Amino acid sequence: MAKVGAQRAAIMTGRSKSTIQRAMKAGRLSFEIDDQGQKLVDISELERVFGPVTEQEENTSLAAVKAEIKRAHEMLEMERLKMRVHSLEDQLHITQVQLDDVKEQRDQWQKQAQQVLLTNQFSQKQAEDLKQELRDREARERAIRQRQMEDRLRRMQAQNQNNENSDENNIWGRLLKKIGGIR
């Protein structure tokens, strides 16, 4: 049969390790020493001294160990999840702060855009008024130039008529007429 150490024998029999070791020391439980100096007890020897070793006792203690391991694993998982939740809450807080900052910037930009729009509309109105004023001024200047040109033209025509009349009236003009008529 298989051989087990004192700890495993204690688990299989449901006794303490010290009880198994006392039985070995007292000689009630025979054992062998392996190459490493560890005392090993045959399972049949355990049954002889402590009664039949059942799989149920072995399974019960194994189940208890597995349950303890499972409980420890669940506690670790719970702690990991708590840390994850805390981390996500921190990230959410940071994101909320950033969102608030972005909203504040957006509001400032909207105010600036409205001011620019109002200023731009006012500037456009001023520009249109100035353009109209320039058009009116140019129209007045054209009208003035037109009148000046017409006045000059009338004066020149009047001078031309006067010159023609004066050429006829002065001596040289009359001479020229006579000479021109001889030819």
Judge contact between 41 and 23, C-beta under 8 A.
no
Token readout for 165 is 């009349």
Please report, in tens digits, the pLDDT of each residue of the chain (183 residues total).
688 898 888 888 888 999 999 999 999 989 999 899 899 999 888 888 888 776 545 556 677 788 888 999 999 999 999 999 999 999 999 999 999 999 999 999 998 888 887 777 777 788 888 889 999 999 999 999 999 988 888 888 888 777 666 555 566 666 666 776 665
Overall fold of domain 1-53 = Multidrug-efflux Transporter Regulator; Chain: A; Domain 2 (1.10.1660)
Token readout for 44 is 């049949």
| Beta strands at 3-4 and 39-42: parallel, antiparallel or unpaired | antiparallel
